Structure 1
Amino acid sequence: MLGVLAQADDAIDDCAATSIWALPDDELLASLDATHTVAQRLAAVQLGLVRELDARGLAVARGASSTAVWLRERLRLSGRSARELVQLAATVDAAPTAVREAMLTGAVTVEQGRVVAETVATLPAEAGPEVAEKATQLLIGWADRFDPAILRRLGERVLTHVAPDLADQAELAALERATERAEARRHVTLSEQQDGQVRLTGSLDTETASLLREAIDPLSAPTGEHDDRSPGQRRADALGEICRLALRTGHLPDSGGDRPQLVVTVSLDALVNGVRAGTLETGAQLTPGAVRRLACDAAVLPAVLGGNNQVLDVGRQRRLFTGPLRRALVLRDGGCAFPGCDRPSRWCDGHHVRHWADGGATALGNAVLLCGHHHRLIHQGDWTVRISADGQPDFLPPRWLDPDRTPRRNLYHRRC
């Protein structure tokens, strides 16, 4: 396969060297269609490779917590894109052979292939393979005329065309499945942006969405004639107020062994020079005004950092057994310190570099933050972790993966 791909790579070089501006209109349009078809066919080949890699467990064997996490680092994808790639590969693999063949020949695009595969997967079991095959062929035929969104809507009523006697009963069953899918796919994501904002995205099931509306609506109303906030701004402010109300109740569960709290850090130089901007555990910056506002409602823990983010002093609170050391670990590692892992600090535990049973101290210089998967992986003994001279954790891979055992670090988490 590598030889064939090399030939394809050379062909792309030839295409890139072509003077596109000199192409006649007809050839320009035909070339656009051809590049799209080739790209979709090659994407289908990639899905097959991803599915085989996932089935063999190659990513987990190399220390990753999942195939998606490994692909994110290997192919330099976003976490979302990597997860979707693995999920789509599995969906297409489980679909009828005709779906994969249509994608490989370019008869359907990757998006259309996903729609066909997911639609066929939702057909009732009593429809049988013959009905499923008819539905598959009908949807593939429609793909020549309709985009993925319309194709999905047509797929919702495909049984009326291929098995009318099952359509009514299947419609009720489809509603129940839709509800189950909504619950299974519910998620909320907070993504750091480059402009100081955080993007909030997600998908909720009907019940949870109704609860959110009931909670937000009373707090989203305009406060008076001079309230010039947009509806979206009022909803954003209402969500923040709901969070403040929840934090004040004192009923939230512990997060990583600590009560929910705000940790604001400042470098030693910045402290000496009188710069008062604060840094959160995520690496996001807060203005002095924002820090003061938050300090009115939350326990703000002072942490002074020296060179290389070494913790010189960490503020203390009463009744916290592991609080100060854990906060130091979070400040230093930002999350799971294993290379390529993106799991946040609240999902992680402290690990003794030199085991406690061997006389290792419970101290920052002998600790590293690891998620459950990589904590177990380190204890298996193939990977080795050490604290380097600059106070940061280094991970040495097993010799079967890297004969030189070149030290690796996690570059995913943002440091202060």
Structure 2
Amino acid sequence: MVEELAQAETVVAACADAATWALGEHDLVAALDAAHRLEQRLAAVQLALVRELDGRGTAVAQGASSTAVWLRDRLRLTVPAARRLVNLASTLDAGSPAVRRALADGDITVEQARVIGDTASTVHTAAGAEAAEKAVGVLVEWAGQFDPALLRRLGTRILDHVAPDIAEAAARAALEAEAHRSARDRHVTLSELHDGRLRLTGSLDAETAGLLRAAIDPLTAPSGPDDPRTPGQRRHDALADLCRLTLRTGQLPEHGGEPAQIVVTTSYDGLLRQLDAGTLDTGVRLTPETVRRLSCDAAILPAVLGGAGQLLDVGRQRRLITGPLRRALVLRDRGCAFPGCDRPPRWCDAHHIRHWADGGDTSLGNAVLLCAHHHRHIHHGDWTVRLDGDGRPEFVPPAWLDPDRLPRRNQYHRRT
């Protein structure tokens, strides 16, 4: 398979360099149709490979918390996209061979395959395997006419065609299945932009959507007839107000031994002179004006910096890494330091590189931030943790994973 895929890649690469301007309109359309069919066929191959890797547990064996996270790092996908890939691979593996065949033949798209697989699963639960096979046949035929969104809407009444005697009862089952899929696919993604802003995307289930609207709608009203903000800006400001109100309750759980809080790092002299910018514990830079505004309503949490901006050990030596020492660790690692992990500091434990019980001290030079999964992985796996010459953590993989044992660093929290 590897050789055949390499040959196909060579052919596709040659097509990518072809002069499309020289083709007639008929040939352009034909080439577009062929490229589209090829894309779906390659997707079928990819899904089969993902399913096999997931079944073997390859991702967990290599240190990832799940196949989706491993695919994110391997293929440079977002975690939601990788999770959808794993879910679809599982659905097609458990569902009718006709769906896999239709995708492999280029007769349906990946999104249509997802719709057909979900619908067939619902029909199988409501009416059995025979009705599910009939539903797949009908939906594959319809896929030649309808896009995924319309195909899904038509699929809600598929039992009227394949099992009319139980269609009404099955409609209720379909509604429950849709609610289950809504719960399964719920997610919120925070994508950090280059200038410190966040892009907020996601999919909320019906209940959470209702909660959000109930909480945010009263805060989105214009402040007056001359309010210059757009509706989108008002929703943004309402979300900020909601976060401030929540933080002020004092009822949020602790994160890594610290109360829920925003930590801003700046120099003490700069703060007094109102000149220096600041840095959040997420690495985002703040203007001097923002630092001064936050300092009006926040405790000042000092971090001692050396002449070159290097973090110095803080706090007295003890077993638990808390307080000023943990804050220094957060400022250095920015999150889980294991290669490929994007977990933020508040999800992380402070790990002794040389265990306390083995004589290791509690200091910045003997600590690293790790999320719960990678903390367990380091304790029970064959990876080695160490600090390199510039005081940053690096991880040496086991020989079975990398015979050269080349050190790896986390690139998600690197400073730019």
Q: What's the TM-score bracket when you normalise by the shorter of the two chains? A: over 0.9
Paired residue type of 2:157: R
- What's the CA shift for 1:155? 0.7
Greater Cα shift, 149-158 or 267-276: 267-276
Counterpart CA distance in 1 for 2:405 and 2:383 is 9
Helix, strand or coil at the partner of 1:166: helix
Secondary structure at 2:385 match in 1: strand
Task: Note closer, same or farther for the CA distance 1:16–1:85 as it changes in structure 2 (3 Å cut).
Answer: same
Gaps of 5+ in 2: none
Aligned to 1:397: 397
Q: State the partner residue of 2:232.
A: 232
Give 1:185's aligned residue.
185
Go from structure 1 to structure 2 and tell me whether the alpha carbon gap of 1:44 and 1:288 turns closer, same or farther (over 3 Å shift).
same
- Relative to structure 1, is the Cα distance of residues 72 and 210 closer, same or farther in structure 2, using a 3 angstrom cutoff? closer
Q: How does 1:171-320 map to 2 (within 5 A)?
A: 171-266=171-266, 275-306=275-306, 310-312=310-312
Are 1:366 and 2:366 counterparts? yes
State the partner residue of 1:160: 160
Q: Which whole-Å CA distance do the structure 2 matches of 1:370 and 1:65 have between them?
A: 12
Q: Which amino acid in structure 2 is aligned with residue 410 of structure 1?
A: N
Deviation at 1:390, TM superposition (A): 1.4
Alignment partner of 1:29 is 2:29: yes
- Tell me the TM-score normalized by structure 1: 0.92
Helix, strand or coil for the counterpart of 2:14? Answer: helix
Residue 408 of structure 1 aligns with which residue? 408
Distance of 1:286 and 1:374 partners within structure 2: 31
SS at match of 1:63: coil
SS in 1 for 2:302: strand
Q: Measure how far apart 1:82 and its partner are.
A: 2.3
Across the aligned residues of Structure 1 and Structure 2, the Cα RMSD in angstroms comes to 2.5
- After TM superposition, give the deviation of residue 298 of structure 1 in Å: 3.0
Matched residues in 1 for 2:205 and 2:13: separation?
47
Instruction: Tell me, in whole angstroms, the C-alpha distance in 1 between the residues paired with 2:236 and 2:192.
Output: 16
Who is 2:101 aligned against? Answer: 101
Q: Is the 8 A contact 1:277 1:286 kept in 2?
A: yes
- CA contact 2:333–2:368 (8 Å) conserved in 1: yes
Once the two structures are TM-superposed, the CA of residue 31 in structure 1 deviates from its matched residue by 0.5
- Correspondence 1:6 to 2:6: yes
Quote the Cα distance in structure 2 between the aligned partners of 1:93 and 1:307.
59
Answer whether contact 1:135 1:162 (CA < 8 A) is retained. Answer: yes
Q: Which amino acid aligns with 2:324?
A: P
- How many Å separate the matches in 2 of 1:309 and 1:31? 57
State the SS of the aligned residue for 1:370.
strand
Kindly tell me: are residues 26 and 37 of structure 1, through their superposed partners in 2, closer, same or farther at Cα, counting changes over 3 Å?
same
User: 1:299 offset after TM fit, Å?
Assistant: 2.7
- Quote the residue 2:44 is aligned against: 44
For 1:376, the equivalent position in structure 2 comes to 376
CA distance in structure 1 between the partners assigned to 2:40 and 2:120 by the alignment: 21
AA of the residue aligned to 1:279? T
Q: Percent identity?
A: 65
| TM-score when normalising by structure 2 | 0.92
Runs of at least 5 residues in structure 1 that lack an aligned partner in the other structure? none
Distance 1:299 1:351, change over 3 A: same
d(CA) in 2 for partners of 1:161 and 1:398? 56
Deviation per CA, 1:297-333: give whole Å up to 9, x if none.
33342335447863137699xxx98121111111111
1:338 match: 338
Amino acid at match of 2:311: V
Q: Which residue of 2 aligns with 1:78?
A: 78
- Corresponding residue for 1:322? 322
- Bigger drift between 371-380 and 291-300 goes to 291-300
Task: Check conservation: 1:262, 1:300, Cα contact below 8 A.
Answer: no
